[in-house]
Amino acid sequence: MIKVTCSSDACHPLRHLYKRLLCLKLLKMTDTKEMALNKVGEMVAEDYRTADVFKKYGIDFCCGGGKTIGRVCDEKNISMLELIEALSKVGQSSIEGEQDFNSWPLDKLAAYIEFTHHSYANENLLIISQYAQKVEKAHGQHNPEVIEIANIWRELSDELSIHMKKEELILFPFIKKMQRALSENTSLAGSAPFGTVQNPVSVMVHEHDNAGSLLKRIALLSNNYTSPKHACNTYRVLYAKLKEFEEDLHRHIHLENNILFPKAIVLEKRLNLIPSPAL
C-alpha cells in the first residue's frame, strides 16, 4: 500500500490530493506490480463493492483477507490482468443524477426501471442472501439479531422476486401498449385482463409499502447498518450491501409510485380505456 507522510503545512494540498486519488485508485491504477501487493481484506475494507468481484473468483476476503492479490492469483491460477480489470470497474456504475424522469414517455421509463432497478435487485437479492446466511451461521449465537435479519431478508427476497415478475409480465407491458397507442394515435386492441390499470397499481403500491416496512425492521435490528467492532469482513459487507439495497429500492419505488403509476392512470383515462361498470 502507498503511504504519504508530510508534516509541513505547505504539503496539505498534496495530502488532500492524495486522499482524493486514493479514493479513485481502482480506476487509475495501471501498475500491476503495485496492485499485486495490495491485500484482499484491506481492499474490501476500503470499498465493500470489491467483495462481489473476489467472491466471483472464489477468493476469500474474510479469513483469507491477509493474502495479497499476487498471492491469491498464483494460488488459484487466476489471470492477474483479468482480476485487476474486474476490480477497476468497481465504482464505474452509472449515476442517475438529475435525470428528468418526469418528462420521459412511460414506455421508456418502464424499460429503464426494469433494466436498471429490477436487474440490480435480481442480482443482489441472491448475493445478499448468501452473505446473510454466512453471517447467520457464524455469528448468530452471539449476535441473535443477524438470525432475524436473515429471516426477514428471505421473506423480502421471495416477495420482491414475485412482485417484479408481476410488473414485468403484466403491468409494464400494458403501460407500454398504452404509450404506443398514444404515440401512434391508434386504438388499443383488446381489453386489460385486470380491468382498470388502477387495480394492479394499488396492489404494487401495497407491496412496495410492505417491502419498505421489512427494510425498516432490518435497519432497526442492524442499528442502521452499523456493524459491531468484532465484525468480520463478510459481516461488514452484508450491512453495507443492505444499506446500498435500501437506497436503490427507495429510488426504484419513487420512480414507480410517484411518476410511472400516476401517469399510467392518467393515460388510461385519456385513452378512454376504463371499463364501464356492469349494469
Walk along the chain (279 residues) in steps of 10 and give the mean pLDDT of each run. 44 47 48 81 79 86 80 92 86 56 92 96 96 95 96 97 96 94 81 86 94 94 94 95 94 90 92 60
Query: CA 203 to CA 261: how far, in whole Å?
Result: 11
The pLDDT value recorded for residue 116 is 95
Does the predicted model carry a pTM greater than 0.75? no
> Are 122 and 235 within 8 A, CB to CB?
no
Reduce the DSSP state of residue 173 to 3 states and report it.
helix
Beta carbons within 8 Å of 175's beta carbon, 6+ residues apart: 106, 107, 110, 197, 260, 264, 267
Other C-beta atoms closer than 10 Å to the C-beta of 171 total 23
pLDDT for the residue 219: 95
Q: Is the dihedral of CA 196, 198, 203, 208 positive or negative?
A: positive
Q: 68 φ, ψ to 5°?
A: -80, 165
Q: CA 41 to CA 34: how far, in whole Å?
A: 16
For residue 60, how far is the Cα from the chain centroid?
22
Instruction: Give the position of cell 457464524.
Output: 138
* Spatial distance between the Cα atoms of 243 and 120, rounded to a whole number of angstroms: 14
**255 touches 117 (CB < 8 A):** yes
pLDDT of residue 275: 59
Instruction: Give the model's pLDDT for residue 189.
Output: 65
Return phi, psi of residue 3, to 5°: -130, 140
| Closest to 130 (Cα-Cα) out of 244, 1, 238 | 238
Cα 85 → chain centroid: 21
For residue 91, what is the DSSP state?
T
pLDDT the model gives residue 63:
63
